[in-house]
């Protein structure tokens, strides 16, 4: 058998030191954002049955988690409250209560660990009695009325210490409206990380359990979250949010949408973040528990895939564990 003279692409893969030298993609703790679920109480933690190893934390324990994250070089946390049942309502008024669970967590972490960035989720599913991201009237999701509530929610979050406001609802026009009000109220330095391409996905199930919206959800979210059959539409969504003032954009979920991450990064050349969502986490955990895959190797491979696709950063429940491994 004849071979082309001199061509041996395997040479650079033959040893660990050589693979390290020619590696194209680098993953560090600075690429990771750690999502935390917050609950009421003191020294309280509760397990999430569909997300083995992930817990809801009371504010004091979230502060300790923030200290651990900062010590490992994780740059930011993303906070998600599991609002008490008695504080949920049809009009989601708790979203703009300055003493709500989210605001108390933001204030406590910012005071104790000022060097870590705090990303505040802005959507109504964590406060509404029906589990939808927007206000509902006669079965319809109200766009503009929802945006008005989100503006008020973003303001109390900014005042409480949020560094990044992250609207995750997919209502039209919310980025521009939030940007205008933040600027008018003296919060010009607060970033907006828009969930610009958020798909109506089956992979969100465990998250909805974590924040307490799953069992109360009526209907679905396909009238405002994106159709997973569409790709060009994601570019239109991103373009609109950037035009309205988004500083960074996000693609959600992660692994099934690597093509969207790459298209957004190539088309706009802006910081693109990706969320390795609860269903992706659960698949790795349950497959590893069944002996079907190597857990640690699968986690690392997935994180490198996000970076390779063009992600500037990754929201992942593995952030602390992987930061510790990368620092070892």
Catalytic residue list:
198, 252
Q: Which of 29, 221, 4 is nearest to 132 (CA)?
A: 221
Question: CA distances (Å), 301 to each of 18, 24, 305, in order?
Answer: 19, 14, 6
Please indicate if the annotation marks 185 as binding a ligand. no
Q: From the annotation, which residues make up the binding site? A: 237
Q: From the annotation, which residues make up the binding site for Mg(2+)? A: 237
């Amino acid at each position: 058998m004849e071979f082309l003279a001199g061509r041996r692409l395997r040479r650079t893969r033959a040893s660990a030191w050589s693979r390290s030298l020619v590696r194209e993609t680098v993953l560090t703790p600075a690429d990771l954002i750690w999502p935390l679920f917050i609950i009421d109480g003191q020294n309280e933690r509760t397990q999430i049955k569909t997300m083995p190893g992930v817990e809801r934390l009371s504010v004091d324990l979230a502060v300790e988690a923030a200290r651990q994250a900062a010590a490992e070089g994780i740059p930011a946390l993303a906070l998600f409250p599991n609002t008490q049942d008695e504080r949920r309502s049809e009009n989601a008024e708790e979203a703009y209560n300055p003493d709500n669970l989210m605001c108390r967590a933001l204030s406590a972490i910012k005071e104790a660990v000022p060097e870590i960035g705090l990303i505040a989720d802005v959507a109504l599913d964590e406060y509404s009695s029906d589990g939808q991201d927007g206000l509902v009237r006669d079965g319809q999701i109200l766009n503009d009325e929802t945006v008005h509530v989100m503006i008020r929610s973003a303001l109390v979050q900014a005042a409480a210490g949020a560094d990044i406001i992250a609207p995750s609802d997919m209502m039209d026009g919310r980025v521009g409206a939030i940007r205008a009000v933040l600027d008018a109220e003296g919060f010009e330095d607060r970033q907006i990380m828009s969930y610009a391409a958020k798909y109506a996905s089956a992979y969100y199930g465990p998250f909805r359990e974590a924040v307490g919206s799953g069992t109360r959800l009526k209907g679905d979210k396909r009238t405002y979250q994106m159709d997973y059959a569409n790709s060009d539409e994601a570019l239109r969504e991103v373009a609109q949010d950037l035009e309205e003032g988004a500083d960074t954009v996000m693609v959600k979920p992660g692994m099934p949408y690597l093509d969207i991450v790459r298209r957004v990064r190539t088309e706009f050349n802006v910081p693109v973040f990706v969320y390795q969502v609860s269903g992706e986490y659960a698949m790795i955990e349950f497959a590893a528990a069944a002996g079907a895959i190597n857990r640690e190797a699968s986690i690392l491979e997935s994180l490198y895939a996000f970076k390779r696709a063009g992600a500037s950063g990754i929201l992942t429940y593995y952030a602390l564990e992987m930061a510790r491994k990368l620092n070892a």
